[in-house]
Amino acid sequence: MGYLPTVPETLARTTRKYPEREAIVYPRKDVRWTYEEFDERVTRFANALRASGVEKGDRVSLILYNSAEFAVAVFGLLRAGAVFNPINYRLAAGEVAYIVNDSASEVMVFEEATRETVEDAREEFESVEEYIYIDDDVEQTPEYADGFHDTVADAAADPVDVGLEPEDQYAIMYTSGTTGRPKGVFHSHRDATYHNLMYFGRMDLDYDDVGISAMPLYHNAELNCGLFPRVNLGAKTAIVHEFDAERVLDLIDAEGATHLFVASRTWSGLLEEAERRDDFDGSSLELGVYGAAPMPPSLLEQCMEVFCDDYATAYGMTEMGPCATFIRPDEVREQLGSVGRAAPNHEVRIVEPTETEDPADPVMPEDTVPQGDTGEIILSGPPRMREYWGLPEKTDDAIRDEWFFTGDAGYFNEDGYLFLVDRIDDMIISGGENIYPTEVENVLYQHDGVVEVAVIGEEDDEWGERVTAYVVADGDFDAETLEAFCLDHDELADFKRPRTYHFVDELPRNPSGKIQKFKLREQTADAAN
């Protein structure tokens, strides 16, 4: 594949080219750093880690919301030769302890907002030897931790050379673990850099662009489709501590943001805020990027009217780095609802679903379904993970003949574009018929009063499962209204329409914006009991 720089090398090269360009803006702490200022802090943090005993290959965990300190920490620990272990800040203490122990992490970087979780889990940590607290500039540092800002200020600014190679491990990122223990995904520096080059090439990013990191940076999507590509190019990143629609819109205008990525359904919150206020301009925005779940066509059309003309999306997952398919802005309208075609040097196939496979006769990459049929999406491409950390059986199950089996359902249309239908395990089987919730959700979204909706299967003695919709509504209407709407709609077969509606104030989501349907299923099961 040829030589590719490591992740910290991309920052060093950009700094040499554009030392005076703005790199990081973080309004929460009035931060405005040029690339030279950012790079110096990264080097100092790397030297501080080395001085404390961190060696090449050691794990450093971050349980942080988005911040300028997060950006310094991730590039600094990588420059020190360490392995990046980001942790979802919404996990419970026991879940955090599992990840820290499984990765054998030696350093924990945290903040005031995650301090309680860290302190609740500390007694369970088996390998952590050092704690670094990033809020020492505004809060008192816990007695067991070192202050981040003091540590950086006191460290040497000398160049760091640990003999880092592109094939060395850059990260161990843990999957959400909604159906069991989370799995650690092993990625190399080559994986990350290849993905970043591919991403900004497909999305037409350039050095004079301005992006906002509004989604969690601990997640591969915001990191490898936001911060890392922009640093590689020399573009500017404005950071939001956590997603807030009002703050994001303010930042678009204040910084002249040209690109914005948020999860598909999160765009609805931005729409509501933009329509509520009369002081939002947004004229700088050139490209909106959506992902994490299928984008309802009606929502996308509203975004085109309010924000900007051009939208793009990608499809993939942590195991793929994350993106494996792209749809460009000039294709979105013609192929509305599609997640595009395979990225350069990638391939996509649709095979028989592994959910129903015979263990004695497993599904393999050659077991494709006819064009147009729905099946399981499998992917191949250079940034694919090397393995699930310490889980050889799960690795072998997920990677078959070099293809990654995603667990997602999808199909190709006659033009060869991929359409994401649902998770295979979210499929509803009612009266012997396969029903994919997204089909039903897309119809319900077309009702003017439906703000958000999630469809699941509810246990039913007669039909096996009953189609059930959880609805966040804007307006005074009831289940009978939606029942009539579905009956009159020509895009929804009668057997697919919901038989039960629950009206709720909000839907459960993870920090990446994905609706947590397993929580809705748990609520339904609890109510039945």
**pLDDT for 82:** 98
Task: List beta partners, residue 332.
Answer: none
Question: Are 137 and 29 within 8 A, CB to CB?
Answer: yes
pLDDT, tens digit, for every residue of 87-137?
999 888 998 999 999 999 999 999 999 999 999 999 999 999 999 999 999
- For residues 167 and 517, the model is more confident at 167
pLDDT, tens digit, for every residue of 449-501?
999 999 999 988 888 889 999 999 988 889 999 999 999 998 888 889 999 99
Q: Average pLDDT of 269-297?
A: 88
Distance CA 293, CA 448 (A): 21
> Residue 375 corresponds to which tokens in the numbers above?
């099946």
Q: What is the pTM of this model?
A: 0.85
DSSP conformational letter for 361 = B
Q: Where in the chain is the domain with CATH 3.40.50.12780?
A: 7-242
Length of the chain: 529
Would you list the DSSP string of 384-409? --SEETT-HHHHHHHEETTEEEEEEE
Is residue 265 predicted with pLDDT exceeding 80? no
Sequence-ordered list of residues with C-beta below 8 angstroms from that of 518, at least 6 positions apart, any chain? 178, 179
> Residue 177 corresponds to which tokens in the numbers above?
């673990």
Q: How confident is the model at residue 243 (pLDDT cuts 50, 70, 90)?
A: very high
Q: How confident is the model at residue 291 (pLDDT cuts 50, 70, 90)?
A: confident
- φ/ψ region of 265 (left if φ > 0, alpha if ψ in -120 to 50, else beta) reads alpha
CA 11, 16, 17: angle at the middle one, nearest 5?
Answer: 100
pLDDT, tens digit, for every residue of 11-64?
999 999 999 999 999 999 999 999 999 999 999 999 999 999 999 999 999 999
**pLDDT for 138:** 96
Distance CA 105, CA 496 (A): 47
pLDDT, tens digit, for every residue of 342-356?
999 999 999 998 877
pLDDT, tens digit, for every residue of 206-235?
999 999 999 999 999 999 999 999 999 999
Residue 463 has φ and ψ, to the nearest 5°, of -105, -5
Is residue 178 predicted with pLDDT exceeding 50? no
Residue 110 has φ and ψ, to the nearest 5°, of -145, 180
Q: Where in the chain is the domain with CATH 3.30.300.30?
A: 427-528
Residues of the chain with pLDDT > 90, as a percent, come to 76
Provide the residue type at 494 as one letter.
Answer: D
Is residue 66 predicted with pLDDT exceeding 90? yes
For 7-242, give the CATH class: alpha beta
**pLDDT for 421:** 84
Task: List beta partners, residue 450.
Answer: 473
**pLDDT for 273:** 94
Question: Are 110 and 144 within 8 A, CB to CB?
Answer: no
For 427-528, give the CATH class: alpha beta
Distance CA 109, CA 135 (A): 10
Question: Are 103 and 85 within 8 A, CB to CB?
Answer: yes
Give the residue among 44, 110, 107, 50 at the shortest CA–CA distance from 80. 50
Is residue 179 predicted with pLDDT exceeding 60? no
Is residue 191 predicted with pLDDT exceeding 80? yes
**pLDDT for 180:** 60
Is residue 251 predicted with pLDDT exceeding 50? yes
**pLDDT for 235:** 98
Sequence-ordered list of residues with C-beta below 8 angstroms from that of 457, at least 6 positions apart, any chain? 427, 428, 429, 430, 435, 437, 465, 466, 467, 468, 521
Give the residue among 218, 234, 182, 115 at the shortest CA–CA distance from 389. 182
CA 396, 400, 405: angle at the middle one, nearest 5?
Answer: 95
**pLDDT for 1:** 41
Cis status, amide bond into 322, omega within 30 of 0: yes
DSSP conformational letter for 515 = B
Q: How confident is the model at residue 525 (pLDDT cuts 50, 70, 90)?
A: low
pLDDT, tens digit, for every residue of 416-435?
999 988 787 787 888 777 78
Q: Average pLDDT of 307-316?
A: 92
pLDDT, tens digit, for every residue of 128-164?
999 999 999 999 999 999 999 999 999 999 999 999 9
Across the chain, mean pLDDT equals 92
